Amino acid sequence: MIVKTNNIKYGKKEISYELIFQDRKTLGIKVFPEGSVKVYAPSDTSNEKIEEKVKEKARWILKQQNEFLSYHPLTPARKYINGETHLYLGRQYILQSEIGQINQVKAYRGKLEVHHKSNTKVETVVKNWYREKAIEHFNSVLEEKINLFTKYDIEKPLVEIRSMSKRWGSCTVKGKVILNPELIKAPKGSIEYVMIHELCHLVHHNHTKAFYELQEKIMPDWKKWKTKLEYSLV
């Protein structure tokens, strides 16, 4: 196997890709969630033919990269100080913290009330609370939405909570759905969109036409909630 790195110009854009020569009969292109592009080519394929194919698929490649980019978390960093706003299920809450006997968080009437022990950081208490709420809510959404996939003969997946810098969610080949705990800050509809998006991947593994047709069928207003997800976590 021979690996090279190349790039082409497409309008004002430049597409970089990793070229991998293999013992295969056809030329294939794959775009990965982090935005990288890999081109798999038969060992005897000329550079001219490869560039021609990449240019032919350039519009599709850029579309895929933009799709993945819009799926990246953009939640800004917080300092966990009093008066700062924090999101939970799409609503803003003003942080109010004080030292107490136990570590506890309560979202109530526009306030995120945090009680923390003197030896525990406010940030730690809040993040632990977010994770607990994420586990509870994401599993509840799964229980509700898996019923929409009954006819597709898929098993109910396990849900894993994992912090990810570039993705809201993912789905493994073994059928596990992985969700970012930061997603608990998004509106309920956006959380449902991400869950349905990943469940659709259990039926269609790639972003094919069939995948989007299924997503549209299961959640006709998915674009609305995807947009809210992109712009609400600020």
Residue 163 and residue 127 share a domain:
yes
118 backbone dihedrals φ, ψ, rounded to 5°: -60, -25
* pLDDT given for residue 6 in this prediction: 86
* pLDDT given for residue 36 in this prediction: 86
* pLDDT given for residue 73 in this prediction: 62
Determine the 3-state secondary structure of 131 from DSSP.
helix
Asked which of 69, 100, 117 is the last residue of a domain, the reply is 69
* pLDDT given for residue 118 in this prediction: 94
* pLDDT given for residue 165 in this prediction: 80
Residue 30 and residue 6 share a domain:
yes
In a domain, 80, yes or no: no
* pLDDT given for residue 162 in this prediction: 95
Calculate helix-pair angle for 222-232, 188-203, nearest 10 degrees.
Answer: 120
In a domain, 79, yes or no: no
Count: domains in the chain:
2
Sign of the dihedral defined by the CA atoms of residues 145, 89, 190, 220, in that order: positive
Residue 130 and residue 60 share a domain:
no
* pLDDT given for residue 31 in this prediction: 86
Residue 87 burial class via C-beta count within 10 angstroms: exposed 0-12, middle 13-18, buried 19 and up: buried
**Beta bridge partners of residue 19, listed in sequence order:** 4, 39
Q: Tens-of-pLDDT digits for all 234 residues of the chain?
A: 667 788 888 888 889 999 999 888 899 998 887 788 999 999 899 989 999 999 999 999 988 887 776 666 656 678 999 999 999 999 999 999 999 999 999 999 999 999 999 999 999 999 999 999 999 999 999 999 999 999 998 999 999 999 988 789 999 888 899 999 999 999 999 999 999 999 999 999 888 999 999 999 999 999 999 988 877 665
Residue 43 and residue 109 share a domain:
no
* pLDDT given for residue 228 in this prediction: 86
CB atoms within 10 A of CB 8: 16
* pLDDT given for residue 232 in this prediction: 65
Calculate helix-pair angle for 47-56, 58-69, nearest 10 degrees.
Answer: 60
Q: What pTM does this model have?
A: 0.70
Residue 99 and residue 180 share a domain:
yes
Residue 51 and residue 92 share a domain:
no
Residue 115 and residue 59 share a domain:
no
40 backbone dihedrals φ, ψ, rounded to 5°: -105, 120
In a domain, 74, yes or no: no
Q: Which residues contact 25 (CB under 8 A, 6 or more apart)?
A: 42
Query: Which residues form the domain of 130?
Result: 85-232
∠185-191-192 over CA atoms, to 5°?
A: 160
